[in-house]
């Protein structure tokens, strides 16, 4: 369903760019190659215009008292960080748009298990709202080079389903992966809405209240309380986002600022032996206010100059993710403080 949505968006953008380039060609008497180049330039410019518009709207909403939700005051922003975030977000949007649209035409995105299951480092990737697993292409390649595997992506379908329903599917997938890997605990990396889904799944596992989801589970596909080794969330609105109020689907209402479901989720801290790392950016235009991504019980890694989708391809964010997956030590995680451009661990 997500692929269908983004295919229509891509077709619409291509049609608009082609029509605009055709009008330019008539008015300026452009040659055929110049017309094609103009169409491509207009198509690229659309992504940056969307990123810039989202950033401006986010700043307006962040200054609204209703958007703050009692969270910490906003930290100062730099003009350079803002420009950099819009530039990288436009490029990330273009890449994600193409990847998600083409997903049905490609093989499922995954890395297989090592030959020896005892050496497995399983990772489950959970995407954000209105997306599909194709957004994880850059990170899957990076995880493979770092020695992680198996790596699986999970499409959260249908897009408008309750977060608890998505959480049940995640809990089922965790059980299957754990069984395939000889009982190894699975690490979760989750973006945006996926971060809330991951935390909800952890609560289901902890209470041993995993309802059936999708196809009947294979024998032994019931996760135990130690199914998850760690959770890394990226740009997850742990305390809600004001942007969610613009849409009226069930999951968007659940992650809106001050929603009863979020208050219930945050009242449960989850198992104490499952470390959580939250990677977020102060220049995120979709998590409003951006510091909603902070969790008191988590390692919070704050970046600047990166947008919501840009965090999926950012070098600094990728380093933070790999660091969190490789080491559970809080002191080790804090060592990232002071690295050039890497933000701070809090």
289 shares a domain with 142 = yes
pLDDT per residue as tens digits for the range 5-16: 888 988 999 999
Q: Are 217 and 161 in contact (CB under 8 A)?
A: no
146 shares a domain with 69 = no
312 shares a domain with 171 = yes
337 shares a domain with 318 = yes
92 shares a domain with 117 = no
Going by C-beta distance under 8 Å and a sequence separation of 6 or more, which residues neighbour residue 72?
A: 291, 294
The owner of tokens 């307006």 is 60
Q: Using the predicted structure, report yes or no on whether residue 4 has a pLDDT greater than 90.
A: no
Q: What average pLDDT does the segment 87-114 reach? A: 80
Q: What average pLDDT does the segment 224-246 reach? A: 86
Q: Rounded distance, CA 201 to CA 10, Å?
A: 33
- Identify the pLDDT of residue 75: 55
208 shares a domain with 165 = yes
Give residue 340's pLDDT band: very low, low, confident or very high (50, 70, 90).
Answer: very low
pLDDT per residue as tens digits for the range 104-154: 777 766 766 554 455 678 999 999 988 998 999 999 999 988 889 899 999
Which CATH number belongs to the domain containing residue 255 in this structure? 3.40.50.1820
DSSP β-bridge partners for residue 111: 151
Q: Rounded distance, CA 183 to CA 212, Å?
A: 21
pTM of whole model > 0.75? yes
The owner of tokens 């992650």 is 255
User: What one-character DSSP code corresponds to residue 298?
Assistant: S
Tell which wins on pLDDT, 297 or 71: 297
152 shares a domain with 68 = no
- Identify the pLDDT of residue 118: 56
Q: Which one of 66, 89, 105 terminates a domain?
A: 105
Q: % helix / strand / coil in the chain, to the nearest 5?
A: 50, 10, 35
pLDDT per residue as tens digits for the range 166-199: 999 999 999 998 888 888 899 999 999 999 999 9
Q: Which one of 50, 71, 105 terminates a domain?
A: 105
Please give the share of the chain, as a percent, with pLDDT higher than 70.
79
Tell which wins on pLDDT, 265 or 85: 265
pLDDT per residue as tens digits for the range 267-318: 886 677 789 999 999 889 899 888 899 998 889 999 998 999 999 999 999 9
What is each CA distance from 134 to 4, 105, 210, 318, 334, in whole angstroms?
A: 13, 11, 27, 16, 31
Tell which wins on pLDDT, 26 or 213: 26
- Identify the pLDDT of residue 105: 79
pLDDT per residue as tens digits for the range 48-62: 888 888 878 777 766
Q: Using the predicted structure, report yes or no on whether residue 24 has a pLDDT greater than 80.
A: yes
131 shares a domain with 216 = yes
Average confidence score pLDDT of the chain: 81
137 shares a domain with 16 = no
Q: Which one of 71, 86, 105 terminates a domain?
A: 105
134 shares a domain with 44 = no
75 shares a domain with 196 = no
- Identify the pLDDT of residue 233: 97
Q: Total domain count for the chain?
A: 2
- Identify the pLDDT of residue 219: 42
64 shares a domain with 121 = no
Please give the share of the chain, as a percent, with pLDDT higher than 90.
41
Q: Rounded distance, CA 58 to CA 285, Å?
A: 5
Q: Using the predicted structure, report yes or no on whether residue 39 has a pLDDT greater than 50.
A: yes
- Identify the pLDDT of residue 325: 93
Please give the residue range of the domain that contains residue 159: 110-345
């Amino acid at each position: 369903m997500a692929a269908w949505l983004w295919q229509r968006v891509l077709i619409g953008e291509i049609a608009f760019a082609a029509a605009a380039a055709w009008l330019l060609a008539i008015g300026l008497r452009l040659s055929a190659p110049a017309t094609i180049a103009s169409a491509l330039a207009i198509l690229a410019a659309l992504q940056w215009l969307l990123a810039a518009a989202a950033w401006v709207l986010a700043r307006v909403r962040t200054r609204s008292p209703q958007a703050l939700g009692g969270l910490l005051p906003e930290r100062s922003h730099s003009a350079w960080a803002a420009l950099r975030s819009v530039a990288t977000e436009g490029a990330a949007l273009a890449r994600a748009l193409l990847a998600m649209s083409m997903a049905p035409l490609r093989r499922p995105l995954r890395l297989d298990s090592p030959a020896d299951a005892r050496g497995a480092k399983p990772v489950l990737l959970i995407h954000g709202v209105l997306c599909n697993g194709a957004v994880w292409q850059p990170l899957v390649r990076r995880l493979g080079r770092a020695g992680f595997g198996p790596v699986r992506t999970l499409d959260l379908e249908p897009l408008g389903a309750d977060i608890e329903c998505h959480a049940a599917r995640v809990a089922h997938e965790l059980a299957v992966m754990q069984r395939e890997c000889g009982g190894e605990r699975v690490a979760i990396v989750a973006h945006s809405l996926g971060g809330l889904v991951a935390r909800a799944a952890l609560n289901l596992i902890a209470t041993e209240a995993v309802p059936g989801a999708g196809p009947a589970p294979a024998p032994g596909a019931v996760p135990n309380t130690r199914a998850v080794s760690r959770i890394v969330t990226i740009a997850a609105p742990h305390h809600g986002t004001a942007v969610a109020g613009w849409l009226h689907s069930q999951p968007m209402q659940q992650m809106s600022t001050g929603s009863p479901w979020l208050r219930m989720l945050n009242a449960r801290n989850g198992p104490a032996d499952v470390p959580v790392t939250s990677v977020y950016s102060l220049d995120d235009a979709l998590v409003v206010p951006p510091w909603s991504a902070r969790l008191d019980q988590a390692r919070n890694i704050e970046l600047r100059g990166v947008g919501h989708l840009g965090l999926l391809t950012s070098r600094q964010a990728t380093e933070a993710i790999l660091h969190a997956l490789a080491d559970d030590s809080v002191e080790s995680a804090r060592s990232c403080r002071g690295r050039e451009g890497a933000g701070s661990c809090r």
